[in-house]
Amino acid sequence: MRKIERQMNTAIATLEDGQQWKNANTMVATHNGVCHVFLHGNKIAEVGEGFIVLMDGGWQSTTTKSRLNAILAENGLPGECVFQKNFEWNVRLTDGTTIPFFSGMRLN
């Protein structure tokens, strides 16, 4: 995990409502108990109590995928990850099954 992703995860875990953290191209802002994660100004995730919403922000880039996987590693269930196969994004769930990625998908 990259240093900026560790810092991002720390911000997700520690920010109070209304606060924000920003470093380079990544920002975390909290509103009503939900952390909103942005990459280059595009929302890529929401992390709340018991849920994560994954988005691609319009860019299925290596960096977006890396940030989402860092969020899942820290806040998701064991084994959850975003990966690419045959140029298509997929999500591996805890039981090993895979589903197609779509922006706005919610994991509990």
DSSP string, 13-29: HHPPTT-EEEETTEEEE
DSSP per-residue string spanning 42-79:
EEEEEEETTEEEE--TT---HHHHHHHHHHHHHHS-TT
Whether 31 shows a pLDDT value over 90: the answer reads yes
Q: What is the pTM assigned to this prediction? A: 0.94
- Counting the structural domains of the chain, the total is 1
Q: For residues 75 and 100, give the distance between their C-alpha atoms in angstroms, rounded to a whole number.
A: 20
- Are 35 and 15 in contact by the 8 Å Cβ rule? The answer is yes
* Mean local confidence (pLDDT), 104-108: 94
Tell whether the model's pLDDT for residue 108 goes beyond 90: no
- Which residue range(s) make up the domain with 49? 3-107
In this prediction, residue 1 carries a pLDDT of 81
Can you tell me the mean pLDDT for 79-96?
Answer: 95
Q: What is the pLDDT of residues 40-74, one digit of tens each?
A: 999 999 999 999 999 998 999 999 999 999 999 99
